[in-house]
Structure 1
Amino acid sequence: MEKTEKKENRFGLLGRNISYSFSQSYFSKKFEDLELKDHSYENFDIASISEFGSLLSQNNLKGLNVTIPYKEEVLTYLTYLDVKAKEIGAVNTIKFTEEGLKGYNTDAYGFQKSLEPFLKQHHTKALILGTGGASKAVRFVFKQLGIENSYVSRTKKENQYAYSELNKEIIKTHTVIVNCTPLGTHPNIQEKPTLPYQYLTEQHLLFDLIYNPEKTTFLTEGEAKGAQIKNGLEMLQLQAEKAWEIWNTP
């Protein structure tokens, strides 16, 4: 866990192996720009969710962002779940209140606002790569937008594709593909989800929740086939601002 001067209003990111995180630099700069000298933002890098209980005993904690792999595991520690977070089944924002810990999901908001400008009439079916907490927010948004969608994972389940069964027909009909896996994140930038990329066309929209590197191998493959591409940076910024709004709403 990084050493940060303990301030009166402490915020932070809960996750594992998060030294690369966008959030700490984003909020530290935000506090500096707003001249909030009594605010700090820390990385709470824990090896297991079981360590979360001892973290809660620390003083002056006001809000947390939550990232991989704790967006679902943290639910049992919360007193209250926002309606959207409850439907999604994953939390990425926690507000500390006198009534207890309140959980919210701002990933859905960030994803929808970032995705919508790229959607076209033929974008009616989507593939969601990965089944973790972030993928649940993505599915929630597709449901709101009326876009039929299916998860893709390593194993075949009901209403879920395995990577091994993806073929030309499936890729052709699912013109939106969202990567919710960590494959391709720095420093392992050559990694990518196992897709038949040769079947991508200019009809496709590829969205990667990863933002470092700016253009993953997944996006590069799509761009080479003429597809629209979008990384996760704007989504991250939007969800961060929504989290800030929640922390500051009485």
Structure 2
Amino acid sequence: MNIYGLLGRDIGYSFSRNYFSNKFNTESLKCQYQNFDLQTIEELKNIIQRTDVKGMNVTIPYKEEVIPYLDTLDPIAKEIGAVNVIKFESNGKLTGYNSDYYGFTESLKPLLNTTIKKALILGTGGASKAIAYALDKLNIEYIFVSRNPDFRELSYNDLDEDIIKDFKLIINCTPLGTHPNTENHPDIPYEYLGKNHVLYDLIYNPEETIFMQKGKQKGAKTSNGLNMLILQAEKSWEIWNQ
């Protein structure tokens, strides 16, 4: 039995486990998917010695912390600086990949319009790095928005009417609004949104966040992260089996 799993912390909700378990059942594959719920990344040492584990997805908060435990990085993962897929090679080596950028790119393309030239990325964690890479490839300028900004970033207090009207794509890479704390949402001036805006939330649970609702009220297009997750999961399976 080949074992695959999700590496993260406090991941009882796990989209990946449900998705791959259903896939394995539907396609009659002799595989099992489980959560590797670790309180510290150091606990990974025990898992990577196992011979039955063939691949992992990686989620918050380990997309960057896992890199020192890997033998090699795919060039795209290296450029992004974050890993969400680990392949356990037949020679015992571990290779890190990033399929987040692919899932985001392909799910975003149908939402874009000709007025979208600039994007705000809310949050600066591991997921935001893949988003930035994808926007580079789509030739969309971007700025990170952070609660603790450095000189290249904006704070939430910086966001005014001019900025919101100039940056037509806004991507929430923070966990604000995730179940069970569904009343939370990023603190941006939603009143300046319009019909040419796109609000993309990486969260998928709940299906529609307050962030998305507030955008929809102003005529903006909205999307949650479910399609991105499905696309990156299928890309993970492709990587593990190539």
Number of the residue aligned with 2:144: 151
Number of the residue aligned with 2:196: 203
Does 1:172 find its partner at 2:165?
yes
Q: 1:238 aligns with which of 212, 224, 231?
A: 231
Runs of 5+ consecutive residues of structure 2 not aligned to the other structure? none
Does 1:65 find its partner at 2:57?
yes
Runs of 5+ consecutive residues of structure 1 not aligned to the other structure? 1-7
Summarize the alignment of residues 1-250 of structure 1 with structure 2, pairs less than 5 Å apart: 8-36=1-29, 38-97=30-89, 98-249=91-242
Structure 1 runs (4+) deviating above 6 angstroms are none
For residues 186 and 150 of structure 1, the distance between their equivalents in structure 2, rounded to whole angstroms, comes to 27
CA offset digits 1:189-221 (Å, max 9, x no partner): 000011111111111100000000000000000
Quote the offset at 1:99 in angstroms. 4.9
Amino acid at match of 1:130: G
TM-score (norm 1): 0.95
Amino acid at match of 1:105: N
CA offset digits 1:17-72 (Å, max 9, x no partner): 10001000100010001111x21000000011111112222330000000000000
For residues 33 and 142 of structure 2, the distance between their equivalents in structure 1, rounded to whole angstroms, comes to 36
The count of residues paired between Structure 1 and Structure 2 equals 241
